[in-house]
Amino acid sequence: MKKKILIITQNFSPEIGSAANRMKGVSENLSTNYDLTIWTTAPQYPRKDIYDQSEFQQEELKNAEVKRIATKNKRFEKILFFRFLLYLEVLWKLLRLVWEDKNEYDSILVTTPPLSIPIIGLIAKRKFKSRLIVDVRDLWPETLKAVKGFFPRCIRYLAYPLERLIYRRADKILVNSEGFIDYIRRIVGDEKEICFIPNSLTKNELIVEKQEVVDNQVTIIYAGNLGVAQDLTLFLSLAHSFKEQSDVRFLVIGYGIHYKQMQQDIIDRELTNVDIKPPEPREKVFQRLLKADIAYMGLDKHPVFQTVIPGKVIDYMGASLPIIGVTSGYSKKIIEQAGAGVVIEKDGDFEILKNTVKEWIESPEIRTQHGQCGKNFAMEHFNWEKNKEPLERIVAK
C-alpha cells in the first residue's frame, strides 16, 4: 500500500510565481510513488481575474486529489493589511478541512510563507498523528524588516514566536536556499534534519534547446515579480543608455505591487525601447526566455535578501541565458559559482555593468559561453530528476 501524504499550500498551479511552481514540482515528483492529497486555494495570485483566461487554465495534477477553497478577499496584492486578512480567511477555511477530514496520513508537508499554513500543519499533525515537514521558501517574518510602517513592525514581532514554534515542532525541514540554514539552525539546534531541495526544472524544460532568432536584434529580459525584494533601477538605467541603439530591446514580463509604477517609469523616461507585458503562464514565459539573449535580475540590497536565490535565476540558467545580476549574498555566490554571468552590487560601478552589456551585445560567443555554463549548472543542481530522491527521502521515509 502506498504511503499517504497531505500537502497544504496557499499557492499552487495554475498560479504563476515561484511558490506555486515549486509546489507543483514537489507534488508531481511525489505523486508517482505516493498517495497524494493537496489542499490549496482557488487560483488567485497575483490577481484572480487572469485565471478566467483560457491560456491560464490547466487540468488538475494527475495521480493526486486536489481540494481547493474559494476566498473572498480580492485586494491583497498591494496592502499588507488586506493580505493579512486573506491569510486569516485561508487559515479558517483550511482548518475546517482538517476538522472534517476522516482520512489518515503518514506525512504532512506544509510550505511557508505565510506562517498561517504551517500553523494548520501543526494542528493537522496532532489530529492525524503524522510526521510534519515544513518547507521554507523565505524567512518570514524576517523579510518584513524590508517593509516600512507600524503595522509590518507589529506583525513581525508577533510572528517571531510562531516561527520558532513551527520550526521546533516540525519533524523535518526543507529549504529552497542554503542561505536559510544557519538562521533556522540557531532556532532548532543541531539535531533536527534540515534538507536543501532547491527550486528545480523539469526534464522537458532542461532538454529544450535555445531558440536562435534570425534577426540581429538583442533582447535583454526580466521575468518575474516586481515587489519589495526586486530592484530594477539599473535595468531602466541600462535601457536609457542603449536607447538610441535600435538593435537592442528590453522586455519585462512582470506582476506585483510595483508593476504599475514600472509602467509609469517607462513612460516618464520615454523608454521606447522597453516593452512591458502583463502576467503570462509559465510555459509562455519560458518560451520567451528561450528567444531572449541576456537576462537581468536585481535584488534590493537589504540584508534580509542576501539569503535568497530567486526562482528566476534558475529559470534563466535553464534557458541558457547569460545573467546580468545586481545582487549580493547567496544569489551572487550561485551565479558566480556557475559561471552564468556577471554580478555587481547595487552600489557598484554602473559603467562596469554598461560596458559588460555592451560587450555581450557585440559578442554572441561570450553570451553562449555564460549561458551554457548556467545550463550545465542547472542540469547538475536544479534538476527535478536528480532532486526527486532526496525529496522522497525527507518527506516520506
Half-sphere exposure for 151 (CA within 13 Å, toward CB) = 7
Residue with the larger pLDDT of the pair 156 and 117: 117
Per residue in 195-224, is it b (16+ CB within 10 Å) or e — as a string?
A: bebbbbbbeebbebebeeeeeeebbbbbbb
Average pLDDT over residues 220-235: 94
Average pLDDT over residues 52-57: 89
- State whether 209 and 192 are in the same domain: no
What are the φ/ψ torsions at residue 23 (nearest 5 degrees)?
-70, -30
Is the predicted pLDDT of residue 191 greater than 90, yes or no?
yes
Query: Would you state the cell numbers that stand for residue 363, as one nine-digit string?
Result: 559578442
Q: What is the pLDDT of residues 175-190, one digit of tens each?
A: 999 999 999 999 999 9
Whether omega before 198 lies within 30 degrees of 0, making that bond cis, reads no
What was the pLDDT predicted at 147? Answer: 79
Q: Which residues contact 31 (CB under 8 A, 6 or more apart)?
A: 61, 62, 63, 64
What was the pLDDT predicted at 214? Answer: 66
Which domain does 262 fall in, by range? 203-381
- State whether 12 and 110 are in the same domain: yes
**Residue 121 and residue 107: Cα distance in Å, rounded?**
10
- Domain tally, the chain: 2
Residue 373 binned pLDDT confidence (cut-offs 50, 70, 90):
very high
Of 194-203, 206-215, 309-318, give the lowest mean pLDDT range: 206-215
Query: Would you state the cell numbers that stand for residue 82, as one nine-digit string?
Result: 488586506
Is the predicted pLDDT of residue 282 greater than 90, yes or no?
yes
What was the pLDDT predicted at 76? Answer: 58
- Name the residue with cell 520550526: 167
- State whether 338 and 190 are in the same domain: no
- State whether 151 and 235 are in the same domain: no
What was the pLDDT predicted at 115? Answer: 94
- State whether 221 and 193 are in the same domain: no
Query: Radius of gyration over alpha carbons of the chain, in Å?
Result: 21
- State whether 176 and 207 are in the same domain: no
Q: What is the pLDDT of residues 294-331, one digit of tens each?
A: 999 999 988 889 999 999 999 999 999 999 999 999 99
- State whether 320 and 296 are in the same domain: yes
What was the pLDDT predicted at 222? Answer: 98
Q: SS3 string of 175-194?
A: ECCHHHHHHHHHHHCCCCCE
Among 165, 324, 166, 160, residue whose Cα is nearest residue 241 = 324
- State whether 245 and 264 are in the same domain: yes
What was the pLDDT predicted at 155? Answer: 85
What was the pLDDT predicted at 73? Answer: 66
Residue 209 binned pLDDT confidence (cut-offs 50, 70, 90):
confident
- State whether 187 and 294 are in the same domain: no
Is the predicted pLDDT of residue 348 greater than 90, yes or no?
no
Q: What is the pLDDT of residues 67-97, one digit of tens each?
A: 999 998 665 566 667 788 889 999 999 999 9
- State whether 154 and 217 are in the same domain: no
What was the pLDDT predicted at 248? Answer: 96
Average pLDDT, the chain: 93
Is the predicted pLDDT of residue 196 greater than 70, yes or no?
yes
What was the pLDDT predicted at 69? Answer: 96
What was the pLDDT predicted at 74? Answer: 62
- State whether 151 and 161 are in the same domain: yes
DSSP 221-282: EEEEE-SSSB--HHHHHHHHHTTT-TTEEEEEEEESTTHHHHHHHHHHTT-TTEEEE----H
Average pLDDT over residues 140-168: 87
What was the pLDDT predicted at 149? Answer: 77
What was the pLDDT predicted at 54? Answer: 87
Query: Would you state the cell numbers that stand for residue 133, as one nine-digit string?
Result: 515537514
Q: Which residues contact 371 (CB under 8 A, 6 or more apart)?
A: 210, 320, 321, 322, 340
Is the predicted pLDDT of residue 273 greater than 90, yes or no?
yes
Average pLDDT over residues 39-49: 92
Which CATH number covers residue 338? Answer: 3.40.50.2000
- State whether 162 and 255 are in the same domain: no
What was the pLDDT predicted at 138? Answer: 95
Share of the chain above pLDDT 90, in %: 79
% helix, strand, coil for the chain, step of 5: 50, 20, 35
What was the pLDDT predicted at 202? Answer: 96
